[in-house]
């Protein structure tokens, strides 16, 4: 969920990207052979180390247990989104915007890259995300890894030489959240394009000075959730968190349920 301090920054990105965004331009990459491929394949044979700061176990609202798998996978995919998709895209095409895509998420301009479950997909290759570093993946994909420069202070916290761990089931859960969220947002406001932001790794949009979106989880709510964040605070039983309202995706299990939550919030926000 974007902090209030980020609102002006996101608006600034919108102003720049409105000039730069000229549609989805699928890129093409030459088939990689030689040293980069050998480096990637050698890295795949190593036993992955546990990443910094991963882990923990918590009780979900539905009584189910979330384990290390979701936390570790979320951190790894956040790092991939920031360092391998948004950063290279910003340096080449001038935008950090990403989008939900079946199975995961993708760039909106060149370089054409996407995540499908536990794989990074280029024009010619499917690269496993498990047990390799961001730097090694970048070499195999033919891009230069790194976050977008001088745009925000937060981020994934993943280093270029951190080994990634991605559990496919957890990755599919995150992808479903993004996909359902994007569909719900488009239903709420067809004229607004949902954006997957690499800073907080959530997908969202702003409508009438209210932020709507789906987060993969964070320090406030450790499980995937849908959120509504009015720029001006609202009061009442619907608004159940400090920034507005949030509901875990264990309660909102599909796009229709998320849209119902967004639509109720929109009606209340307009009324207040």
CB 145 within 8 A of CB 137: yes
CB 88 within 8 A of CB 82: no
User: What residues have CB less than 8 Å from 53, skipping those under 6 apart?
Assistant: 75, 157
CB 134 within 8 A of CB 40: no
Neighbours of 182 (CB within 10 A): 25
What does the DSSP assignment read for 209-251? TEEEEEE---SS-SS-EEEEEESS---STT--BTTBEEEETTT
pTM for this prediction: 0.77
- Residue spans of the chain under pLDDT 50: 2-65
pLDDT of res. 221: 83
Grouping H, G, I as helix, E, B as strand and the rest as coil, residue 263 is: helix
CB 12 within 8 A of CB 129: no
- pLDDT above 90 as % of the chain: 72
pLDDT of res. 67: 55
Distance CA 113, CA 120 (A): 7
pLDDT of res. 106: 98
Digit-coded pLDDT (tens) for 94-129: 999 999 999 999 999 999 999 999 999 999 999 999
CB 121 within 8 A of CB 115: yes
pLDDT of res. 52: 23
How many helices (H) and strands (E) the chain has is answered by: 7, 12
Neighbours of 78 (CB within 10 A): 21
What does the DSSP assignment read for 132-187? -BHHHHHHHHTS---PPTTS-S------TTPBP---HHHHHHHHHHHHHHHHHHHH
Which residue has 């549609």 as its token pair? 23
């Amino acid at each position: 969920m974007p902090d209030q301090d980020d609102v002006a920054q996101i608006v600034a990105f919108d102003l720049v990207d409105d000039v730069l965004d000229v549609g989805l331009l699928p890129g093409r990459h030459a088939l990689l052979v030689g040293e980069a491929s050998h480096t990637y394949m050698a890295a795949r044979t190593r036993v992955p180390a546990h990443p910094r700061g991963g882990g923990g176990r918590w009780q979900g609202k539905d009584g189910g247990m979330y384990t290390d798998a979701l936390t570790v996978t979320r951190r790894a995919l956040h790092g991939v989104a920031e360092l391998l998709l948004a950063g290279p895209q910003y340096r080449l095409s001038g935008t950090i915007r990403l989008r939900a895509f079946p199975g995961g998420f993708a760039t909106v301009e060149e370089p054409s890259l996407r995540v499908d479950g536990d794989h990074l997909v280029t024009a010619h290759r499917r690269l496993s995300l498990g047990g390799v570093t961001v730097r090694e993946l970048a070499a195999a994909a033919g891009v230069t890894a790194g976050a977008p420069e001088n745009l925000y202070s937060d981020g994934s916290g993943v280093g270029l030489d951190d080994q990634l761990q991605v559990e496919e089931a957890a990755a599919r859960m995150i992808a479903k959240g993004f996909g359902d969220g994007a569909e719900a947002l488009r239903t709420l406001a067809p004229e607004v394009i949902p954006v997957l932001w690499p800073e907080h790794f959530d997908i969202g949009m702003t409508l009438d000075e209210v932020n709507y979106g789906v987060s993969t989880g964070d320090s406030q709510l450790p499980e995937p959730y849908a959120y509504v964040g009015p720029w001006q605070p609202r009061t009442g039983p619907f608004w159940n968190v400090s920034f507005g309202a949030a509901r875990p995706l264990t309660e909102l299990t599909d796009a229709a349920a998320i849209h119902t939550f967004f639509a109720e919030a929109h009606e209340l926000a307009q009324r207040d």
